[in-house]
Amino acid sequence: MIDEDALDRAQDKAFDAWDAPSKAKRTALAREALAISPLCSDAYVILALEAGSDEEALNLYRQGVEAGEKALGNTVFKEDAGLFWGLIETRPYMRARQGLADALLRLGHHNEAIEHYMDLLRLNPDDNQGVRYALMDTLLTTGRDSEAKTLFKQYREDESAAWLYARALLSFRQSGDSAASRKWLSQATDANPLVPGYLLGKKAMPKRLPDFYTPGDASEAIVYTESASSAWEATEMALAWLDTTAARPDSDVVAAPAPRDEAIDRAVLALLYLGLHDGDRAWKSFDWSALDRLHAQGLISDPASRAKSVRFTEDGLELARARFHELFGD
C-alpha cells in the first residue's frame, strides 16, 4: 500500500530541489526526497538532469517512470487517459516519461522514443509538454511519413515555425518542388525566416542551446535546427531545395486567389470530392479556370489532359474532404 503522506512530503522536497541554486543542493534534496518515498518521480528527473552521461540519465528516467506508474496506480491510466496533464498528481510521471523519451532519442533508440512520445499524446492530447515537435522530427528522420501525416492532422491548427517547416519537409518528400511544398515553405519562412540559415550551416549554432525561445527570432531557429536537422539531412535534396527555394522572391510562390475565386475554388473542390472514384480521382466537368487554380495550388493533377477526370494529390484529397464536410455536412 502506498504511503500517500510520505509521497506528499517527498514531492515537497522535490519542489525545493527544483528551486535550489546549485547542482550539489539539487541532487542532495532529490536524494532526500527518495529517502522519504522511493515513488517520487520528480526526484529521479532532477537526478537525471544532473547525470554525468546520457546512459546514466536514461536509467534514472526509467526509474522515475516506474515510480510514477506505481504511485498513480492502474486505475488512473485506464480512467483518466486523455486528461493527464489536468491532474496535478500525474505531472511528475509525465515529466519523467518525456525525459525518458528524450534520453532514448539522444542515444539513437528512435523507435522506442516514438512509442513513448505517442503514448504521452494519448494520455495528454492537448500536449502541454510540446511532445509533438520531437515526435514529428523523429518520425520524419526515420521515414515514418504516414504517421507524420496523421500527426499533422491531429494538430492541424498549429502555426508555429517548427510545425510549418516540418510540414514543408513532408510535402517536399511527397511531391518534390511543387506548388504545395513551396506554399508550406513560404508560410514557414514567414513564421521564422532565420531557420534556413541555421539548417544550411550558413549561421553557426551556439555551443549551448537557449533555455527558452521567442517565436520568430534566432533562439527559435536554433532550437528547431537542433531538433530537426537530422530529418532534413535524411531527405534527399531537401537542403538543396531549401537553399534555393527559401531565397526565391514572393512571386515564385503561387499567389492566393481573389476572394470571389477562392469561394468558387472551395465549392469546386468540395464538388470534385462528391464525384470521387477509384480512390483519388474525380470527374473534371467544372469551370476550367477553377480547375487550373486548384492545379496551381498543388491540389489536383493537370486538368489539361485527355482524361475525363483529375487525380487528387494527397494534400488535395485531404482538403477536398474537409471542404465537402464544411459545405454539405456529414
Whole-number pLDDT of residue 254: 47
Task: Sort 278 into a burial class: Cβ within 10 Å, 0-12 / 13-18 / 19+.
Answer: exposed
- Residue 194: is its pLDDT beyond 90? yes
Q: Predicted confidence band at 315 (pLDDT cuts at 50, 70, 90)? A: confident
Q: Are residues 113 and 26 part of one domain?
A: yes
Q: Are residues 8 and 116 in the same domain?
A: yes
Whether 16 and 9 have beta carbons less than 8 Å apart is answered as no
Position 268 scores a pLDDT of: 83
Position 248 confidence tier, pLDDT thresholds 50, 70, 90: low
Residue 8 and residue 114 share a domain: yes
| pLDDT number for residue 108 | 95
Residue 226 lies in a domain: yes
> What is the pLDDT averaged over residues 183-194?
94
CATH number of the domain at 81, please. Answer: 1.25.40.10
Is residue 151 scored above 60 in pLDDT? yes
The per-residue pLDDT for range 121-137, each reduced to its tens digit, is 999 999 999 999 999 99
Average pLDDT score over residue span 97-126: 97
Q: Are residues 241 and 266 in the same domain?
A: no
| Shared-domain flag, residues 209 and 292 | no
Res. 251: pLDDT tops 80: no
pLDDT higher than 80, residue 200: yes
Mean pLDDT of 61-72: 97
Examine the domain organization and report whether 293 and 217 are in the same domain. Answer: no
* DSSP summary character for residue 2: -
Residue 139 lies in a domain: no
| Number of independent structural domains in the chain | 3
Q: Is the pLDDT of residue 188 over 50?
A: yes
**Together in a domain, 76 and 24:** yes
Question: Are 244 and 263 part of one and the same domain?
Answer: no
Decide if 80 is inside a domain: yes
The mean pLDDT value of the chain amounts to 90
In the predicted model, is pLDDT for residue 249 greater than 70?
Answer: no
Domain range holding 282?
Answer: 259-328
* Number of other CB atoms surrounding residue 124 within 10 Å: 21
Q: Could you count the other beta carbons within 10 Å of the beta carbon of residue 314?
A: 17
Q: Mark which of 205, 231, 254 sits at the end of a domain.
A: 254
**Which percentage of the chain shows pLDDT scores above 70?**
95
Domain shared by 8 and 122, yes or no = yes
Decide the pairing of beta strands 309-311 and 281-283. antiparallel
pLDDT for 247 equals 65
Determine the average pLDDT of the residues in 234-242: 95
CA 94 vs CA 44, 99, 147, 155, 307: distances in Å: 12, 8, 22, 20, 54
Within a domain: 208: yes
Does any domain span residue 142? Answer: no
Mean pLDDT computed over 43-50: 97
228 and 265 share one domain: no
266 plus 243 within the same structural domain:
no
Per-residue pLDDT band at 330 (split at 50, 70, 90): low
**Residue, of 289 and 213, whose pLDDT is higher:** 213
pLDDT, average across residues 74-88: 94
Does any domain span residue 146?
no
Percent of the chain topping pLDDT 90: 69
Which triple of cell numbers denotes residue 177?
518542388
Given a cut of 60, whether residue 253 has pLDDT beyond it is no
pLDDT at residue 269, as a whole number: 83
- Report yes or no on 148 lying in a domain: no
pLDDT exceeds cutoff 60 at 250: no
Same-domain pairing of 185 and 304: no
pLDDT band for position 252 (50/70/90)? very low
**Predicted pLDDT of residue 148:** 96
Q: What is the phi/psi pair of residue 27, to 5°?
A: -70, -35
CATH code, 314: 1.10.10.10
Of 239, 254, 269, which residue constitutes the final position of a domain? 254
Give dist(CA 142, CA 100) in Å, integer: 19
| Per-residue model confidence (pLDDT) at position 257 | 56
Which of 254, 285, 320 is where one domain is finished?
A: 254
238 within a domain of the structure (yes/no)? yes
DSSP character at residue 277? E
Of the candidates 268, 242, 249, the one whose C-alpha atom is nearest the C-alpha of residue 257 is 268
